[in-house]
Structure 1
Amino acid sequence: MAEFRKWTVQHDSERSRIADPPGFDAAAAREQADGSSSGRAAGTGSKLPLAKRQEALQHAATAPFKQVAMLCFMMWMSGSTLHLFSIMTTLSGIYQPLSAILNAKTAFPPDPEGELDTTLPRLTYCAIHGLGVAFAVYKINSMGLLPTHLSDWVSSMRPPAVLEHAAGSLLR
């Protein structure tokens, strides 16, 4: 006779005494365990690629929105003065989205079955990261680091006339 341990459970003997939970389909569970079914129920073959596309769009394409929003918030909070922290934050705001856009092919690999089109989720993914790059470029421009005039490139040209002056005073 087989030796039984103190904390073992024999599922085969208890299976006949326990009723299946509501909504449990024993035939579908047997098919999934046998691997005889390809994972598709009858009549749902045309809806499966649509469900995969929606899942890829919702989860993979829009997932970096929170990350890009946090990065933009950090760039905004760093200020527009020329400090090491604000420059490093802004450069990180350019590098991270650009590297994510360049690695979009690994984030959305092609479907081996050829049924799933990942073009729209990939474009959404790149557009979200493109907004992060656009905010970083705006931030660089507001810090005055973006070369916008000819005098920024050629030293013999005169810089443009200053249109604004700011002065502070203390009242006593």
Structure 2
Amino acid sequence: MSKSPPSPAWAIELSNPPPYKAKQNSFPDPPGFPTSQTSSKKKDSKASQLAQRTPPTQEEMDTLKLKKAWEVALAPIKSLPMTGLMMYMSGNSLQIFSIMMVFMAFKNPIMGILATNQAFEKFESDTNKGKVLQVKVIYVIMQLVALALGVWKVNGMGLLPTTRSDWLAWEAQREAVEHAVVGL
């Protein structure tokens, strides 16, 4: 029977890593990264610190939830400059890129308005319903501002009927008051 060839040195080192070597330099460890000699002592002290930590009060949790709700509410307005720049750069002609930009400019705010309650349900509690309602109203207003950006783009593309010539089909033909006869 043939013996298998010996494993390469890198495979042996990979399965059996070398023992930990103490640092030879004089730089201290950064906070939160203990050396191996003191790690057992620090683990015990961390466990005791975690046991002594008091849970947050309901008021502190409501404040934190409200802060996070405001971040969600103001997120649509933070993306407006980039969306506006992209719409401006895509031009006013009817091309696939500009049509996709307009589609996304309408789809995202409408979907955001429809999903308002789902976006804020994790932040709402019995004690902060009134404050979360204010945040929801601001969120809907921010989504409407984003929707107005889409309307601006559609108007710039000439797709909104805002001129008199767009409504000529409903105009009555004028009756002439005088008639001219060609003379011979």
TM-score grouping bracket, smaller chain normalisation: 0.5 to 0.7
Structure 1 pair 141/26, CA: closer, same or farther in 2 (3 Å)?
same
Match of 1:73, as an amino acid?
L
Tell me whether 1:26 sits opposite 2:33 in the alignment: no
Q: Are the counterparts in 2 of residues 150 and 157 from structure 1 also a CA contact under 8 Å? A: no
Structure 1 pair 156/47, CA: closer, same or farther in 2 (3 Å)?
closer
Q: Which runs of 5+ in 1 are unaligned?
A: 1-5, 8-13, 159-172
Residue 11 of structure 2: aligned partner: none
Q: Counterpart of 2:75 in 1: which secondary structure? A: coil
Structure 1 pair 151/125, CA: closer, same or farther in 2 (3 Å)?
same
Q: CA RMSD in A?
A: 3.5
4+ aligned runs moved over 6 Å, structure 1: none
Q: Which runs of 5+ in 2 are unaligned?
A: 1-15, 18-36, 173-184
Task: Identify which range, 92-101 or 62-71, moves more after superposition.
Answer: 62-71
Q: Are the counterparts in 2 of residues 100 and 129 from structure 1 also a CA contact under 8 Å? A: yes
Q: Are the counterparts in 1 of residues 69 and 123 from structure 2 also a CA contact under 8 Å? A: no
Structure 1 pair 83/61, CA: closer, same or farther in 2 (3 Å)?
same
CA distance in 1, matches of 2:65, 2:98: 41
Q: Give the TM-score normalised by the residue count of structure 2.
A: 0.57
- The structure that has the greater radius of gyration is 2
Q: Counterpart of 2:107 in 1: which secondary structure? A: helix
Tell me whether 1:49 sits opposite 2:70 in the alignment: no
Residue 157 of structure 1: aligned partner: 171
Q: Are the counterparts in 2 of residues 57 and 120 from structure 1 also a CA contact under 8 Å? A: no
Equivalent residues, number: 136
The structure richer in helix per residue is: 2
